[in-house]
Amino acid sequence: MANAQHVIEPTTRESATSGDAGWSDSSARAVLQLMVESVAEMVGFEVATLSVVLDDQLVTVAYTGPEEFREYLMQPDPVDVLDPVVAQAEVWGRWRFLAAEDWDGPDPDGHWVHFDDERPDVPDAWHPHDALLALLSDDEGRLVGAMSVDRPLTRRRPDARQRSLLERYAAQAERAVITAFEREELVSQVTHAEAARRLIRSTASSAQASLEAVLQQVHRPLVDGFGACGSWILVLEDDGRGRGYMRDRRGETVPPRDEMVALARRLAPLMWAEQEIALVTESGRTNAPEHIAPLLDEARRQLVEIGLGSALGIPLGVGAECLGFVVLARRAQDPAWTDGEIDSALQIGHDLGAALMTARALERERNLVQELKQLEDYRTQLIATLSHELRTPLTVISGNLELLGELDLAAPAPQYQEAMSRGTRRMATVVDDVLLLARVSDPHHPLEPVPVDLRQMAHDVVTLVESSARAESLTVRLALGEGDLVVPGDPTELDRLLTNLVSNAVKYTPAGGTVMVTAVRRGTEVVLQVADNGFGISEQDQIGLFRPFYRTTNPEALNQPGTGLGLSIVATIVERHHGRVEVSSRLGEGTTFTVTLPTG
């Protein structure tokens, strides 16, 4: 009995069968389709499907099996159609198996296919009405999808080996679905960030124009980027008063009410000080501090009076200075504001505030600051996008290669499998570095320090690299000072910091060389040093040494594999731990990295 599946984001049941709807990230669907095909082929089933949960409906992302059943299996259904089967099924890890003879009740409706196969006369035969599906959940236990299989090629119910393989595939599918949802959210955020950049670029070329001209130019990026039916910008003047500029979607000016101007003039500085976004709808408003709540209630009353469905209020400013207020409106029949749009709105407030400052007084300075910010935003988005783009296919590839390694393959297939596994592991290392750099660079990922014993950590790291160092005829020495070498920090990050420094020293030191690792306490600080007598680093290369993806120009060092991320990760971790990192090196004589970390 196959679990029916559906197409992404159908507007109606009929449109779901067209095959035109889909995730914005087609690569995610391709990966999940490959996973479903792998389940069917490697475990031995004719039919396999995978659904995700969208708005309390199961929505198909992948299917393999007889084509005559595809159209039916593309129909969306509520998630709760699974409940009767799940309630009676036997639990096999993530999987639920319901034998046909154990089913108590009428045939389930809407989400199942009943094949007309005859049950074979073999022990433990698969019944055509047997159901086998896996429930896929996120880290908080919420259902994110379901996978099902049917028509085993052996015509028997799964044995222990097949159940083990199915569980591993379900775990991979679960992680892949979660990653795909994360990537969809990332794409949404990047889209809004791009709208912000267009907004800033559009105003930068008008620095000498009047304020009215600048505000007219920013209207279109705002309404297009957020799907609004109109925008209203209040610009605060030096005397604390303000002028309002309201335009509908076509760009036509609409005079704002005096009471709206007065309310926004009071609300904008308070919202900017709190760094809050105001979402007001016909039926309510966002939670707000006590001194702001009455103003938002008044905003809701005005919204109802003018016949709009919802409005997003965004304070504008630079630093501690509030420059104005933007209101983006939607009609009652328009879609609700998404979390991604709300999260992006405050950044829009910062960007547009900088543009207003530029147009009013500080063109060159503000343009330079904004350009630097755009570059930093682009770097962060590139790292996050790249890591999310690579993680899912690598998970699928490595999982399938691992499963292939367990099969009895004829030569020379095992050699090819091992070569591919080595390449995949190397790629996974690069992705891990990118993911770590993105995580430690994220200002929304605060450090939660615990006591970390650097003495034990140094022993562990040196023990880890000793074997590879001996293979290269290198000597690794460890010298630890007396007393307490405990610092507050993240043990995983500090371990990566020290591992990167020691591994680099081993990598860039020729045979016969020496790597020295020392740690001492000096007052309220612990000083770590990793020194080698290897290739060394030129003064010119030391300038950009801690930038992401930076590689030295030294030909000897370039012969060693690397991504250019290791020292960038080191510098970011040190900064997060309120420490300092310094490098002392001479080309051809060796390098010493010194990391100083506070003990409290």
CATH, residue 213:
3.30.450.40
Domain contains 372: no
Whether the pLDDT of residue 215 is over 70: the answer is: yes
Same-domain status, 426 and 493:
no
Segment 576-600 mean pLDDT: 93
Over 80: is that where the pLDDT of 160 sits? yes
* Residue 193 domain flag: no
Q: How confident is the model at residue 306 (pLDDT cuts 50, 70, 90)?
A: confident
Domain boundary among 441, 459, 478: 441
Whether residue 97 sits in one domain with residue 152:
yes
Position 153 scores a pLDDT of 93
Q: Which of 313, 329, 361 is the last residue of a domain?
A: 361
Residues 20 and 56 grouped into a single domain: yes
Digit-coded pLDDT (tens) for 409-437: 777 877 887 888 777 777 777 777 777 87
- Among the residue ranges 102-106, 508-512, 585-589, the one predicted with the least confidence is 102-106
- What is the per-residue pLDDT for 115? 63
Q: Name the amino acid, one letter, at 295.
A: L
Domain annotation covers residue 167: yes
> Given a cut of 70, is residue 107 above it in pLDDT?
no
Q: Which residue has the tokens 């089913």?
A: 103
Residue 14 has pLDDT above 50, yes or no: no
Residue of 491, 499, 496 whose CA lies nearest to 448: 491
DSSP SS3 for 117: coil
Domain of 254 in residue numbering reads as 206-361
- Taking the alpha carbons at both ends of the chain, their separation in whole angstroms is 62
Q: Are 94 and 113 in contact (CB under 8 A)?
A: no
Q: Is the pLDDT of residue 4 over 50?
A: no
Report the percent of the chain where pLDDT is more than 70.
81
- From 346, 361, 376, the end of a domain falls on 361
pLDDT at 209: 54
Token pair recorded at residue 528: 């770590």
Q: Considering only 319-333, 472-486, 518-532, which range has the smallest mean pLDDT? A: 319-333
In-domain check, residue 43:
yes
pLDDT tens digit string along 171-203?
Answer: 999 988 888 877 766 566 556 556 655 665 555
Same domain, 144 and 35: yes
Closest CA to 315 of 341, 285, 356, 345: 345
Residue 43 has pLDDT above 50, yes or no: yes
The residue count for the chain: 600
Which of the pair, 71 or 32, is modelled with greater confidence? 32
Asked if 175 and 222 sit in the same domain, the reply is no
Instruction: Please give the pLDDT value at position 432.
Output: 76
CB neighbour list of residue 482: distance below 8 Å, 6 or more residues apart: none
Does residue 256 contact residue 232 with C-beta atoms inside 8 Å?
yes
For the segment 434-447, the average pLDDT, to the nearest whole number, is 77
CATH code where residue 501 lies: 3.30.565.10
Residue 195 lies in a domain: no
Shared-domain flag, residues 169 and 277: no
> Do the domain assignments include residue 308?
yes
More confident: 388 or 31: 31
Cβ atoms of residues 136 and 148 within 8 Å: no
My answer on whether omega of the bond before 412 falls inside 30° of 0, hence cis, is: yes
Comparing 411 with 458, the larger pLDDT belongs to 458
Beta bridge partners of 329: 230, 311
Mean pLDDT of 454-460: 94
Q: Which residue has the higher pLDDT, 551 or 44?
A: 44
What contacts 24+ positions apart, CB below 8 Å, involve 289-293?
Answer: 292/267
Is residue 137 domain-shared with residue 217, that is, in the same domain?
no
| Domain-embedded: residue 197 | no
Same domain for 285 and 225: yes
Q: Check residue 487 and give its pLDDT.
A: 96
* pLDDT band at residue 135 using 50, 70 and 90 as cut-offs: very high
Task: Pick the range with the lowest mean pLDDT from 37-41, 352-356, 365-369.
Answer: 365-369
Which pLDDT does position 6 carry in this prediction?
28
Is residue 73 within 8 A of residue 49, CB to CB? The reply is: yes
* Mean pLDDT value across residues 439-459: 86
Whether residue 286 is found in the same domain as residue 147: no
Q: Using one digit for the tens of pLDDT, what is the confidence trace for 275-288?
A: 888 888 888 877 77
Residue 552 region, left (φ>0) first, then alpha (ψ -120 to 50), else beta?
beta
Question: How high does pLDDT run on average in the chain?
Answer: 80
In 388-508, which ranges are E strands? 450-453, 475-480, 486-489
Q: Where residue 10 falls among pLDDT bands split at 50, 70, 90? A: very low
Strand pairing report for 514-522 and 475-480: parallel
Please report which confidence band the pLDDT of residue 47 belongs to, taking 50, 70 and 90 as the band edges. Answer: very high
Q: Is the pLDDT of residue 363 over 60?
A: no
Indicate whether 401 and 489 sit together in one domain.
no
Give CA 47 to chain center in angstroms: 32
pLDDT at 500: 92
Residue 386: is its pLDDT beyond 80? no
Residue range 121-144: mean pLDDT, rounded: 89
Instruction: Kindly state whether residues 213 and 350 are assigned to the same domain.
Output: yes
Backbone angles phi, psi at 361, to 5 degrees: -150, -40
| pLDDT score for 289 | 80
For residue 91, the model assigns a pLDDT of 95
269 in any annotated domain: yes
Q: Are residues 170 and 227 in the same domain?
A: no
| CB neighbour class for 524 (10 Å; exposed up to 12, middle 13-18, buried from 19) | exposed
**What is the reported pLDDT for 54?**
82
- Rounded CA-CA distance 177/220 in Å is 35
Most confident option among 291-295, 308-312, 456-460, 563-567: 456-460
How many domains does one find in the chain?
Answer: 4
